[in-house]
Amino acid sequence: MYDRIRKVPKYNGFFFSPDYTPNAYPRSTAGRHLSNMDEFLAVARESADSDICRVIIDLDRYLHLAEQGFRVEYQGELLVAEREV
């Protein structure tokens, strides 16, 4: 899927969300200490075929939300975030 999206001109140079350039990944501070953009792009390319790759991306999303003050729960295959008061 990423490969198809990548070929659409309006998404050229973007990854996951048109609001963020590839340099925005990993999203979490912890992820940036452990990895870099190139590794995350490689992980994302393989994520459709690999449970561990999907988990790495989900963990980065979880950590980013937690760092931004959200209470995050993982329900099924969905992250649910609620801003803590």
Average pLDDT, rounded, for the chain:
79
What value does the mean pLDDT take over residues 48-63?
84
The whole-number pLDDT of residue 64 equals 93
Instruction: Using the structure block, give the residue that is written with the tokens 């561990």.
Output: 52
Domain of residue 24, residue span:
2-83
pLDDT confidence bin for 14, thresholds 50/70/90: low
Instruction: Identify the band that residue 79 occupies on the pLDDT scale cut at 50, 70 and 90.
Output: confident
Residue 85 token pair: 């008061």
Rounded Cα–Cα distance for residues 23 and 15 (Å): 9
Domain count across the chain: 1
DSSP assignment string, 20-81: S-GGG-S-SHHHHHH--HHHHHHHHHHGGG-HHHHHHHHHHHHHHHHHTTEEEEEETTEEEE
